[in-house]
A and B are shown apart, each in its own frame.
Chain A
């Protein structure tokens, strides 16, 4: 693979089973924010930022972070704020939010902010764009049935705002904008690269392929990822594009240690936390009416329930997440690359209840023992500012 990016899951470490039970086992949307300690939260945020800066030192090709709303899991409600912070703290590495929850933002504001962080970072920003997940539509009172249409329209507006000389007028189904003329414009021309994240709808890879945007798929069985990548490749060919492996972005959680037994003991605990407690939410919140076509509902909801209700051993067996020694991780990632044909890999190495020491050791172990064996090229030199 050509690029290996580091994903920080930013899991709030303080969720308890008791509080979750008291909140009807809802980890999203309504999990009470009285549980959030701002003093502790500030320290945790600084630690996470430091860890991402460390990932640049370790030689990763990109920093990846989620945007999500009203949840302790991945609690980063503004990817652009994090991009700006990291732009000021790093010098070489690509900044890759995966992704901005497009339907909850005003598209012109989002285009302006991404242009701004692109300028601050010296052109290192990727515009990772996502449709959002079910509870976010509750959090913003957006008809889930409109999310896809709002997403498509917003992407059109953003691309035009970045690349077309302004002012221009836009009138669509959701936005009527007589004067689009963003200041400043992005440094990368015609616009920062757009990557599209997918949760499992086959429409998403096909749409991304037609437009030539890289597509990111993770947290799934390898066969399911292959199906999405095949859809992408077929749609790209149909659109007359050479399917480029660099447009396929694989994503995987990895927990490893020199000793297999230790990897399992600690990794299992982190996965239990991140895939059970932090992911606990009923189907009707994760898949509100209209978010998934009725004919796809059972497959989508069933896939999601699978992560929650299947043993970690089984999930590792299925390749949904990895646990092992560095050698096992190398073998697994190279096999996945061979099987799936991707050119970029996003590796989640910081998640669950991992503390500072454990996170840094884990990152360093991957950088030393795995990274050199899976990456085809050396990281590009720092751009002259």
Chain B
């Protein structure tokens, strides 16, 4: 395979027609990106073999954000519409960070759409005594450092519209109070990952996802928060290993 993605136009509720990035063919995997934006093709290619579908979430990249949308359920429904657009009843669902929040919401609202669930450094739950840093208050340089970019110049600068999209879902409350309690609804094999050098999410926070899912929790040595952009090969390998293990 070439490793370069193609685009398929699908229809999503409220959003309308939108191009969705994909590559490969075979066993389908839906990747939901984090707040720093769509992942590089290199990461998607490393998730192969299989059909890797990687939409730009509404408000990011080429996908507009409908004015009334402000709940995670809106984004989870969008993810389901993407599966419909590819004619899929279910797929492996992999979500990173903010995309992990979307993936966990999709998996708890519509468990039948999920074959296997992988949450990479996910956010979206409320864990007693853990208050995550407010990324909107940090400013671009410190956010970049928190996510693990070596220098601000190396970071993916969020456009203002993307910051606005992220704020719509996270500013007032960066979690869904009921999400943790609903995670046991997901009965499919699941995996929760965290980079051991993640400065944004404490281990106890990410581990709470795994405990609620009854899923293994794995730390990837020396990796920061922004794994899809900064450690695409290592993250993809950990995901691939899990999916291949579960297959056998």
B171: which A residues are within 8 A, CB to CB?
A: 137, 141-145, 288-290
Q: Are B168 and A290 in contact (CB under 8 A)?
A: yes
Q: Which residue of B lies closest to A282 (CB)?
A: B139
Q: Which residue of A lies closest to B68 (CB)?
A: A173
A383 interface contact, C-beta 8 A: no
Q: Are A143 and B167 in contact (CB under 8 A)?
A: yes
Q: Are B134 and A138 in contact (CB under 8 A)?
A: yes
Say which one of B105-113, B156-164, B234-242 lies at the interface with A. B156-164
Interface string of B154-181 (1 = CB under 8 A from A): 0000011101101110011100000000
Q: Which residue of A lies closest to B169 (CB)?
A: A143
B159: which A residues are within 8 A, CB to CB?
A: 294
Q: Taking A143-B70, A284-B136, A284-B140 as contacts, is the C-beta distance between A289 and B172 under 8 angstroms?
A: no
Q: Taking A141-B173, A294-B161 as contacts, is the C-beta distance between A289 and B140 under 8 angstroms?
A: no
CA distance A146 to B70 in the complex (A): 10
B137 interface contact, C-beta 8 A: yes
Q: What secondary structure prevails in chain B residues at the interface with A?
A: helix
A29: which B residues are within 8 A, CB to CB?
A: 137
Q: Are B160 and A297 in contact (CB under 8 A)?
A: yes
A15 interface contact, C-beta 8 A: no
Using a CB-CB cutoff of 8 Å, which residues 37-51 of chain B contact chain A? none
Q: Which residue of B lies closest to A141 (CB)?
A: B172
B136: which A residues are within 8 A, CB to CB?
A: 138, 284, 288-289
CA distance A290 to B167 in the complex (A): 7
A285 interface contact, C-beta 8 A: yes
Q: Which residue of A lies closest to B136 (CB)?
A: A288
CA distance A284 to B163 in the complex (A): 10
CA distance A288 to B135 in the complex (A): 11
A142: which B residues are within 8 A, CB to CB?
A: 171-172
CA distance A372 to B164 in the complex (A): 49
B164: which A residues are within 8 A, CB to CB?
A: 145, 289-290, 294
Q: How many residues of B contact A (CB 8 A)?
A: 17
Q: Are B140 and A288 in contact (CB under 8 A)?
A: no
Q: Are A145 and B137 in contact (CB under 8 A)?
A: no
Interface string of A136-160 (1 = CB under 8 A from B): 0110011111100000000000000
Contacting residue for A294 out of B134, B160, B166, B168, CB 8 A: B160
Contacting residue for B167 out of A144, A282, A285, A297, CB 8 A: A144
Interface string of A276-295 (1 = CB under 8 A from B): 00000010110011100010
Q: Are A288 and B161 in contact (CB under 8 A)?
A: no
CA distance A290 to B163 in the complex (A): 8
Using a CB-CB cutoff of 8 Å, which residues 121-151 of chain B contact chain A? 134, 136-137, 139-140
Contacting residue for B137 out of A143, A285, A290, A297, CB 8 A: A285
CA distance A255 to B171 in the complex (A): 40
Whole-angstrom distance from the CB of A101 to the nearest CB of chain B? Answer: 16
CA distance A141 to B174 in the complex (A): 10
CA distance A294 to B65 in the complex (A): 14
Q: Are A288 and B167 in contact (CB under 8 A)?
A: yes
B160: which A residues are within 8 A, CB to CB?
A: 289, 294, 297
Whole-angstrom distance from the CB of B217 to the nearest CB of chain A? Answer: 29
Q: Are A289 and B167 in contact (CB under 8 A)?
A: yes
Contacting residue for B139 out of A146, A284, A294, CB 8 A: A284
Chain A CB count within 10 A is highest, among B139, B160, B166, for B160
8 CB < 8 A contacts A-B: A138-B137, A144-B171, A284-B139, A288-B136, A288-B171, A294-B159, A294-B161, A297-B160
Given contact pairs A144-B167, A289-B160, A289-B163, enumerate 17 new A-B contacts (beta carbons under 8 Å): A29-B137, A137-B171, A138-B136, A141-B172, A143-B168, A144-B171, A145-B171, A146-B70, A146-B172, A282-B139, A284-B136, A289-B167, A289-B171, A290-B164, A290-B167, A294-B160, A297-B160
B residues with CB within 8 A of A: 70, 134, 136-137, 139-140, 159-161, 163-164, 166-168, 171-173
